[in-house]
Amino acid sequence: MRNTRKTVGEVGEFNLIDRIRKILPVSGNRDLIVDIGDDTAVIRIDRKRALLLTCDIQVEGRHFLFDRTTPYRIGRRSMAVNLSDIASMGGKPTYALVSLGLPADMPVESFHRMFEGMRDEMSVFGAYIIGGNLARTKDELVIDVTMVGEVEASRVLTRSKVRPGDRIFVTGMLGASGAGMEALRVYGKKVPRKYAELVKRHVLPSPRVEMGIRIGRSGIASGMIDLSDGVAGDLYHICEKSGVGAEIHEACLPLPEHIAEIAEKCGRSVRDIALHNGEDYELLFTVPPDVPERKIRALPGNTGVPVTEIGMIVEKRAGYRLVDALGKKTRLRPAGWDHFRKE
């Protein structure tokens, strides 16, 4: 059947996810708080607690390259991106299962280092790998991680309850990972020392688990998502799910040091890197307009992670737009990372 009619590569990731939604039945199970569509499923355990379940499959050559990083970092990263999904629900990560598809010629040494990386990333958050499975592939390393977390059932933050007038905030800096990636592309192994922090943000993201829990527990947010595909793509998921529009203020984007130099060097705009590059693994969350300012200012506590307001949720008919420093509004391209797009 392989060579007839349309292929999955032609229709793309989001079309396939739509198809899955149509094939699968609505569960009718009232323990299921959040179903397919969010990156993380939420299942009620009892009156107070809910279980979080998320998975992420990463393939060598598409999600990481052996010659650009180390097995240890690949291991850490594979956990970090899943920890970020738990963080985006305001949850505490607890356990992970790891499935690996291994090419037979992978050195045992690399396998060992990769697992050490996984263990170390989990231990930062007091979470454990408790199971998994191994299989052999022809020539690609495939890492599939299922992450389990827990959250207070009354504090679950989803994508579907955001309303016009809600203010939009992000943690940390935007475009750091993208700038780091471009620095690696431009300079190869000779990246100047001053860009080391950007490169680090690219190869080893820090999931915002503590901030996610703080935002969830504060009870002030109306929605939250982690930034894996870029602000422009991820915020759009919230807009679709909630039936709203959004305006992002370009001048408000929190930018990392040196991003302008790198943008010039690689011939892209700072805006493009900050909005469309993805993999920052920061949190984007929305706060209704009547929430007192002091509650928002209290969010970072002593985490050292800044929180920055970058725009506002608007009516759907007002569109999805970027507002520049002069107040001029242009359409914001809602492009997210599609794992089936042509390279």
- Footprint of its own copies on 56-75 (CB under 8 A): 56-59, 61-63, 66, 71
Among 164, 249, 291, 340, binds its own copies (CB under 8 A): 340
Q: How many CB atoms within 10 Å of residue 272?
A: 15
**Vertex 222, ends 32 and 13: CA angle to 5°?**
60
Among 30, 135, 267, 304, binds its own copies (CB under 8 A): 135
Among 76, 125, 144, 183, binds its own copies (CB under 8 A): 144
Q: Assess 233 for contact with its own copies (CB under 8 A).
A: no
Q: Which residue has the tokens 């805006």?
A: 271
User: Which residue in 248, 246, 256, 280 sits closest to 81, CA to CA?
Assistant: 280
Q: Assess 149 for contact with its own copies (CB under 8 A).
A: no
> 299, 211 in Cβ contact below 8 A?
yes
Exposure string over 177-216, b if 16+ CB within 10 A, otherwise e: bbbbbbbbeeeeeebeeebeebbebbbbbbbbbbbbbbbb
d(CA 218, CA 211): 10
Q: Assess 142 for contact with its own copies (CB under 8 A).
A: yes
Stretch that binds its own copies, among 23-31, 161-169, 180-188, 300-308 (CB under 8 A): 23-31
Closest CB to its own copies among 70 and 218?
Answer: 70
Q: Given strand 223-226, what is the order of strands in its sheet?
A: 223-226, 283-287, 167-171, 307-314, 245-249, 320-323, 329-331
Question: Residues 99-118: x/- map of binding to its own copies (CB under 8 A)?
Answer: xxxxxxxxxxxxxx--xx--
Q: Assess 261 for contact with its own copies (CB under 8 A).
A: no
Q: Assess 50 for contact with its own copies (CB under 8 A).
A: no
Residues ≥6 apart with Cβ < 8 Å to 31: 43, 44
Q: Assess 4 for contact with its own copies (CB under 8 A).
A: yes
d(CA 311, CA 238): 14
Among 30, 44, 47, 55, binds its own copies (CB under 8 A): 55
Closest CB to its own copies among 225 and 275?
Answer: 225
Closest CB to its own copies among 224 and 259?
Answer: 224
- Footprint of its own copies on 77-96 (CB under 8 A): 94-95
Q: Assess 298 for contact with its own copies (CB under 8 A).
A: no
Closest CB to its own copies among 119 and 167?
Answer: 119
Among 11, 65, 196, 298, binds its own copies (CB under 8 A): 11
d(CA 309, CA 208): 17
Partners of 56 in beta bridges: 145
Among 44, 124, 146, 291, binds its own copies (CB under 8 A): 146
